[in-house]
Structure 1
Amino acid sequence: AACEELKCSRLFLKLLEAVLKTGNRMNVGTNRGDAQAFKLDTLLKLVDVKGTDGKTTLLHFVVQEIIRSEEAHLANLRSPSAELSPAGIPRKHGLQVVAALSGELSNVKKAASMDSDVLGSSVRKLAAGLEKVSDALRLSGDDEANAQFASSMSSFKSKAEEEIAQIRAEENAALTLVKEITEYFHGNAAREEAHPFRIFVIVSDFLDVLDRVCKQVGKMQQQTAAASAGRQLPIPANPIPAPTARVFRRRWTDSDEDSGSSSS
């Protein structure tokens, strides 16, 4: 479920595309200005790139860009019966859509808390326990006094073997899906074999940061709206400046390693 969420989330893929376009825009004229992909680790670096005010980060800008895009998308989809805000945009505005990404990727966050080594160890312990049952059956021999015990344990052993085989098959299938999703976003799953669930940890950590930034953007929107209302001025569509070399202290750069993220 976590793999499917990542691969099929329209908003997550849109966010990756926005990050890629923003990075290319900032690095225009350099050998990094025409990137086709980036590693997901880069998402965690977006809050490290700050504007001259020392508070606004590159992630703030990306979120604002997606908010505007989502509001335009929602406006195009609205029906005559839809509840509209004074500006004509559905009340479920862009910020709410972006902030809902954590809920949309709930299984990804659950997968991030899992440990593949622990899962594998649990299956091996089950198999080892079943071996002890087999040993007990062999020791019981053909003694009639143990016939009822042997019959019950044999039945239990057969069912347990089937269940363990099914668990192993599901484990292998899950690891295969994780490998495929890692290759889909990173291009080389071999590097992550020691920590196959790392991709979920990265995304989960990013979602925590995104939630915090969405709350900050919401407060910024409220402050801008209040200030504009007090002056009777129109509310600016984008209170956060575009990311240029003058606004941000350093250029956003990808990891030095080549990657295969499907961000576009």
Structure 2
Amino acid sequence: MQNQENGEGLCLQQLEALVKMVPTKEEELKLCSYKGEVDELGSAEKFLRAVVGVPFAFQRAEAMLYRETFEDEVVHLRNSFSMLEEACKELKSSRLFLKLLEAVLKTGNRMNVGTIRGGAKAFKLDALLKLSDVKGTDGKTTLLHFVVQEISRSEGIRVSDSIMGRIMNQRTNKNRTAEEIDEDHRRMGLDLVSGLNTELRNVKKTATIDMEGIVSSVSNLRDGLGGLKCLASEKLKGDEDNRAFVSSMSSFLRYGERSLEELREDEKRVMGRVGEIAEYFHGDVRGDDKNPLRIFVIVRDFLGMLDLVCRELRCVRVPNSPSPLAPFR
């Protein structure tokens, strides 16, 4: 029992089971005041009676369980913060995503020319999710189809005009019609646009993060460390029988305090960047504090819509005759 009293020797499963067995005050009083034959008690009662005889036994178990799970919790939180940071970088540095936003803004202004909504300089990202609600004359083709067609063609031309593109064109375009070349540009551009789902992969992952859960985890780690410090530095301090346990936990406390300080710095830095990216793309969001990661949810949902439209457009060839996209031009 000596190793267990020192904070060693119990595995994670045993510690979890022990913590769940914490008796109520009334149960503990009955066990401590029991005067009958020990053999008359059940195995669980015998075990609990022995455990409650150890000073602060269950608080020790909670402290040991905290230490056992601490590193996994810290790693999980650091990975979440790292993912958030990468998502911010992806959104800010994605040239194609910015081009898409520009194309949406230009299309909206063309549609609203002559109205009070014409000539807009920006728009809320929520509007991206409404692009599929505006339909053409066929009732199927949407404003998002039009935007993707426009940017796909321009991106295809951009790649085709690059040095490598010109070299390939000299080899393949000799006997091709203008319509065939235009179709190549469109399909080349579609490949680029659909690649946004890969380019913004951390944005999509970040959309699934439970920010309240992260904040709660950091708070729980802080509270747990405070409880462990109270146990080792106050309740058991000076007791010779508990010296080994206190020494073991004191060493862990120093490590835990450093780790938590680093976590707090990570949280502060990353949430600052999340706020900056949200304001950059979404305007003043200080009043929208219910979900600070909402911008990533919007972009993830938009990328899902974008992927569907790209797959649909790959299956069709743009006709020369008037198309249902004409009203958007």
Question: Residues 8-19 of structure 1: matches in 2 within 5 Å?
Answer: 8-19=93-104
Deviation at 1:135, TM superposition (A): 2.1
1:21 aligns with one of 106, 110, 114: 106
- Partner residue, 1:37: 122
Q: Answer yes or no: is the 8 Å Cα contact 1:60–1:240 preserved in 2.
A: no
Question: Residues 1-264 of structure 1: matches in 2 within 5 Å?
Answer: 1-79=86-164, 82=168, 93-137=188-232, 138-221=234-317, 236=320, 241-244=325-328
Which runs of no fewer than 5 residues in structure 1 stay unpaired? 225-234, 248-264
Figure out how many residues of one structure are paired with residues of the other and give that number.
233
Of the two structures, which has the highest relative contact order with CA contacts closer than 8 Å and spacing of 6 or more?
A: 1
Tell me the amino acid that sits aligned with residue 208 of structure 1: G
Deviation at 1:144, TM superposition (A): 2.5
The secondary structure found in structure 1 opposite 2:137 is: coil
Measured in 2, the distance between the counterparts of 1:243 and 1:69 equals 20
Deviation at 1:129, TM superposition (A): 1.1
Deviation at 1:143, TM superposition (A): 2.3
Deviation at 1:72, TM superposition (A): 0.8
Tell me the amino acid that sits aligned with residue 242 of structure 1: A
Deviation at 1:82, TM superposition (A): 4.4
Query: What TM-score do the two structures reach when normalised by structure 1?
Result: 0.82
Measured in 2, the distance between the counterparts of 1:93 and 1:238 equals 23
Measured in 2, the distance between the counterparts of 1:160 and 1:55 equals 58
Q: Deviations over 1:180-232 (max 9, x none)?
A: 011111220212222100000000000001000110111113xx5xxxxxxxx
Deviation at 1:85, TM superposition (A): 5.5
Measured in 2, the distance between the counterparts of 1:114 and 1:85 equals 47
The secondary structure found in structure 1 opposite 2:286 is: helix
Measured in 2, the distance between the counterparts of 1:166 and 1:99 equals 38
Q: Answer yes or no: is the 8 Å Cα contact 1:179–1:196 preserved in 2.
A: yes
What is the Cα-based RMSD across aligned positions, in Å? 2.3
Query: Residue 85 and residue 129 in structure 1: after superposition, are their counterparts in 2 closer, same or farther (change >3 A)?
Result: farther
The secondary structure found in structure 2 opposite 1:188 is: coil
The secondary structure found in structure 1 opposite 2:287 is: helix
Tell me the amino acid that sits aligned with residue 41 of structure 1: D
Kindly report structure 1 stretches of 4+ aligned residues shifted beyond 4 Å.
80-92, 235-240
The secondary structure found in structure 1 opposite 2:327 is: coil
Measured in 1, the distance between the counterparts of 2:322 and 2:122 equals 26
Measured in 2, the distance between the counterparts of 1:27 and 1:92 equals 29
Deviation at 1:145, TM superposition (A): 2.5
Which runs of no fewer than 5 residues in structure 2 stay unpaired? 1-85
Tell me the amino acid that sits aligned with residue 308 of structure 2: R
- Partner residue, 1:253: none
- As a proportion of its length, which structure holds more helix? 2
